[in-house]
């Protein structure tokens, strides 16, 4: 509605005897959107929707393999879904664990990456070096080989700090084990926040210096400026980072127990278990998508876009 | 009024001013030290494995079995690099990887920027938000889920063992995490003030001119970020090449060459009695650890160099953003 209000003066200027109605303008806007989104639409239909529907079909089929006929699908409806939830002993518990763990880690990863980005924007000497350093987890984390060599292969990713031996001697081995487990979990989490840190850094550099100037003139403290200026302007980026963190932990086959489990079933069970594995994946998507929608719902009231009226 | 007078007095008193300045710079210094401490502390977690890899890549087999050598090699053993260079087919592999990554990244960033702009600036049209949620849903789908179907279809198209399956989807805003890039651009474009669009439209700019001349230059930091991620993810991707160009080693990108190099070394390793002392640190044997680390260094060097070049663009964003006001 607002759009038409804003564009009215323009139309009066450009089209003197205006016959262009609201409907025509709306059609024009839709056409413009169509042009921008056309490549995506084609790509979505061909490279995503079609394969996804095939996967959905598999999830509702009993897959059989024979030398003569190759793969054969027979429709069984929701049976695979029912099996995944009720018959399979591990699936639901692994799923629940992953969801809880991810929801627990998400705020921590986000808080850490925001802190790191803010630190890097302070204009300290050597910022370029630190920016390069914080890029390493992005490069290494996205390479399966590098992952094997570092995170999973024993390059000492977690070197126990000196204080650990002190902890060890003072509280005894049992408690020290927990402390070191927490330390390791934290270090692994740091390794998974590289992308987020870069996103926040770009977001911070996008905040107009004018805002800070105004805040300074009005006498806001650094903390107030962060809360009232930086955070709101950064909020679209915070939503992006939240979704990325959620999806990243849910789609990483190396780190995600559910996907690991499903892929394990797929490879060990062969074609016979294919239907069941697909059904599990679909249950999984739906659960994650619901979480994602909840985040979007929350964001609708709390994210500030300068382009909105 | 009184307060103003007090301030004048305060500023006029030179000794007081000096003390004040010292106090401020003192607390600044302390703050800086704390910030540095934090940065170094956090950076250490990233720095150590990298340093270990770099140092191991320069260790001779003798150093690797020597229990007194943990971090620093006794001498720099560059032969690891010559061996890894040959094993990775580095020269030609680097060229074809560059070519493939440049094409794929160009297609992906351009098409996702367009789509992101559409989702951001036309969100009031009914159904656009729904389409965006569909796009986000595809972000959830790991490539493993649809790979079987993709393989079947690419086989039908006769695209197997070419670069087409790895580049064509990119031009349609799909490919490696395409939805994520759409999301990046959608957030960036949506944050640009509405007045800007209004002004450009009053001046008679078409939708494309508005996008290209007015809006796109203002989201430069996001373009830089998208470029970096797209380059790195394409550079490191093994899943795609492994599935779509399995039968043609002359076309393998560096990531796949490295994986192949590593798995060959590991399988040889199983037949050898691996050195126990070294096994505690890596799963590789003495014979391969140095060369594989050297190979890994060679493979990640180009994306790191690219990042160091482009990261200045983040900072440029500040000056650009000033134009908005």
Candidates B310, B308, B293, B302; CA nearest to B100 is: B302
Q: Which CATH class is domain B83-322?
A: mainly alpha
In chain A, the N- to C-terminal Cα span, in Å, equals 10
Residue by residue, DSSP assigns A27-46 as: HHHHHHHHHHHHHHHHHIII
Cα A11 from chain centre: 42
Q: For residue A155, tell me if it sits in a domain.
A: yes
Contact A195, A112 (CB under 8 A): no
Residue A68 lies in a domain: no
In a shared domain, residues A270 and A192: yes
Q: Is A306 helix (H, G, I), strand (E, B) or coil?
A: coil
Listed residues A59, A77, A111: the one ending a domain = A59
3 state SS of A61: strand
What is the domain count for chain A? 2
Spans in chain B with pLDDT lower than 50: 1, 5-10, 271-283, 318-325
Q: Are residues A307 and B189, on separate chains, in Cβ contact within 8 Å?
A: yes
At B57 the three-state DSSP class reads coil
**Burial degree of A99 (CB within 10 A; 0-12, 13-18, 19+):** middle
Residue A115 forms part of a structural domain: yes
Among B251, B264, B250, B252, which Cα is nearest to B292's?
B264
Of B47, B120, B146, the CB nearest to A52: B146
Task: Flag whether A67 is in a domain.
Answer: no
Are residues A50 and A179 both part of a single domain? no
SS3 A64: strand
Torsion angle of the four alpha carbons B192, B195, B199, B202, in this order, in degrees rounded to the nearest 10: 120
Ranges in chain A, pLDDT < 70: 1-20, 64-72, 144-169, 171-172, 180, 252-256, 266-272, 307, 309
pTM of the model: 0.83
B233: Cβ contacts below 8 Å, ≥ 6 apart: A142, B176, B177
Q: Which of B45, B311, B317 sits opposite A187 (nearest CB)?
A: B45
Same domain, A131 and A275: yes
CA distance B82 to B68: 26
Domain parsing of chain B, residue ranges: 2-56, 83-322
Question: Are the C-beta atoms of residues A261 and A212 closer than 8 Å to each other?
Answer: no
B291: Cβ contacts below 8 Å, ≥ 6 apart:
B57, B80, B83, B84, B87, B265
Bridge partners (DSSP) of residue B256 are: none
A47 in B contact zone (CB under 8 Å): yes
Query: Considering Cα of B121, then B124, then B126, then B132, what sign does the dihedral take?
Result: positive
Rounded-to-integer distance, Cα A131 and Cα B96, Å? 29
Give the residue from chain A lying closest to B194, CA to CA.
A307
pLDDT of residue A2: 46
Residues 89-128 in B contacting A (C-alpha not used; CB under 8 Å): 111-112, 114-115, 117-122, 124-125, 128
CB contact set of A234 (below 8 Å; sequence gap of 6+): A200, A203, A204, A207
Distance CA A64, CA A44 (A): 29
Contact B150 A47 (CB under 8 A): yes
Residues β-bridged to residue A65: A71
CB of B51 within 8 Å of a chain A CB? The answer is no
Q: Where residue A105 sits, what CATH number does that domain have?
A: 1.10.3720.10
Residue A9 belongs to a domain? no
Contact B316, B220 (CB under 8 A): yes
Q: Structural domain of residue A290, as residue ranges?
A: 87-302
Alpha-carbon distances of B238 from A220, B97, B149, B168, B191, rounded to whole Å = 50, 12, 18, 17, 35
The rounded distance, in Å, linking the Cα atoms of A31 and A12 is 21
The answer for A 133-162 residues in CB contact with B (under 8 A) is: 133-140, 142-146, 148-150, 153-159
A7 touches chain B (CB under 8 A): yes
Co-location of A92 and A163 in the same domain: yes
Task: Render pLDDT for A74-87 as a digit per residue (tens, 0 to 9).
Answer: 777 777 787 777 77
Taking the Cβ of residue A6 and every Cβ of chain B, the question of whether any pair is shorter than 8 Å is answered with yes
Whether residue B45 and residue A236 make contact (CB cut-off 8 A), yes or no, is no
Is A10 part of a structural domain of the chain?
Answer: no
Is there a single domain that holds both residue A101 and residue A157?
yes
* Residues A93 and A34 placed together within one structural domain of the fold: no
User: Quick one: pLDDT at residue B271?
Assistant: 44
| Chain A CB within 8 Å of residue B274 CB | no
Among the partner residues B119, B187, B280, nearest to A239 by beta-carbon distance: B187
CA distances from A290 to A223, A283, B189 (A): 34, 11, 26
Q: Please check whether residue A112 lies inside any domain of the structure.
A: yes
Judging contacts by C-beta atoms under 8 Å, the chain A residues touching residue B188 are: 206, 236
Mutant choice from A4, A11, A28, A44 vs B, greatest count of B C-beta within 10 A: A44
Q: Where are the beta strands (DSSP E) in B173-230?
A: none
């Amino acid at each position: 509605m607002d759009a038409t209000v804003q564009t009215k003066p323009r139309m009066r200027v450009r089209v003197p005897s205006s016959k262009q109605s609201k409907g025509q303008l709306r059609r024009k806007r839709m056409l413009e959107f169509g042009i921008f989104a056309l490549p995506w639409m084609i790509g979505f239909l061909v490279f995503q929707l079609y394969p996804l529907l095939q996967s959905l079909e598999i999830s509702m089929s009993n897959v059989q393999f024979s030398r003569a006929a190759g793969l054969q699908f027979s429709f069984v409806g929701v049976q695979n879904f029912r099996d995944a939830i009720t018959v399979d002993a591990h699936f639901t518990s692994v799923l629940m664990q992953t969801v809880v763990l991810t929801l627990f880690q998400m705020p921590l990863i986000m808080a850490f990456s925001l802190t790191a980005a803010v630190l890097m924007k302070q204009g300290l000497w050597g910022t370029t070096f630190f920016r390069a350093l914080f890029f390493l987890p992005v490069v290494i984390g996205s390479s399966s080989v590098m992952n094997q060599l570092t995170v999973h292969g024993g390059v000492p990713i977690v070197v126990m700090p000196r204080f650990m031996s002190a902890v060890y001697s003072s509280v005894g081995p049992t408690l020290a084990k927990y402390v070191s487990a927490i330390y390791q979990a934290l270090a692994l989490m740091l390794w998974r926040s590289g992308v987020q840190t870069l996103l926040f850094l770009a977001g911070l550099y996008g905040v107009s210096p004018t805002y800070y100037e105004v805040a300074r003139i009005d006498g806001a403290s650094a903390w107030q400026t962060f809360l009232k200026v930086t955070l709101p302007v950064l909020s679209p980026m915070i939503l992006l980072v939240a979704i990325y963190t959620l999806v990243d932990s849910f789609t990483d086959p190396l780190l995600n127990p559910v996907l690991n489990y499903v892929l394990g079933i797929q490879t060990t069970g062969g074609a016979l278990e294919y239907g069941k594995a697909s059904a599990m994946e679909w249950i999984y998507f739906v659960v994650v998508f619901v979480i994602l929608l909840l985040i979007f719902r929350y964001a609708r009231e709390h994210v500030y876009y300068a382009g909105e009226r | 009024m009184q307060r103003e007078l007090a301030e004048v007095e305060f500023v006029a008193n030179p000794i007081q001013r000096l003390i004040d300045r010292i106090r401020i710079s003192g607390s600044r210094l302390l703050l800086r030290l704390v910030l540095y401490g934090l940065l170094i502390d956090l950076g250490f977690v990233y720095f150590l494995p990298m340093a270990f890899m770099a140092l191991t890549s320069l260790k001779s087999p003798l150093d690797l079995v020597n229990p007194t050598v943990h971090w620093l090699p006794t001498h720099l053993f560059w032969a690891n690099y010559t061996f890894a260079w040959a094993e990775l087919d580095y020269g030609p592999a680097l060229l074809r990887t560059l070519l493939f990554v440049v094409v794929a990244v160009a297609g992906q960033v351009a098409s996702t920027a367009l789509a992101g702009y559409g989702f951001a600036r036309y969100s009031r049209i009914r159904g656009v938000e729904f389409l965006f949620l569909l796009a986000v849903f595809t972000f959830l789908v790991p490539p493993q889920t649809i790979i079987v179907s993709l393989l079947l279809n690419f086989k039908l198209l006769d695209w197997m063992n070419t670069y087409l399956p790895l580049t064509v989807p990119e031009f349609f805003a799909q490919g490696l995490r395409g939805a994520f890039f759409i999301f990046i651009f959608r957030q960036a474009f949506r944050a640009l003030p509405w007045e800007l669009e209004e002004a450009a439209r009053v001046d008679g700019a078409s939708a494309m001119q508005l996008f290209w001349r007015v809006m796109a230059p203002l989201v430069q930091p996001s373009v830089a970020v998208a470029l970096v991620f797209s380059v790195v993810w394409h550079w490191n991707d093994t899943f795609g090449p492994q599935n779509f160009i399995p039968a043609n080693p002359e076309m393998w990108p560096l990531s796949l060459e490295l994986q192949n190099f590593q798995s060959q070394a590991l399988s040889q390793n199983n037949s050898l009695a691996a050195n126990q002392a070294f096994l505690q640190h890596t799963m590789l044997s003495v014979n391969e650890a140095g060369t594989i680390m050297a190979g890994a260094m060679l493979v990640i060097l180009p994306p790191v160099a690219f990042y160091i070049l482009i990261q200045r663009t983040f900072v440029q964003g500040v000056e650009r953003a000033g134009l908005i006001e």
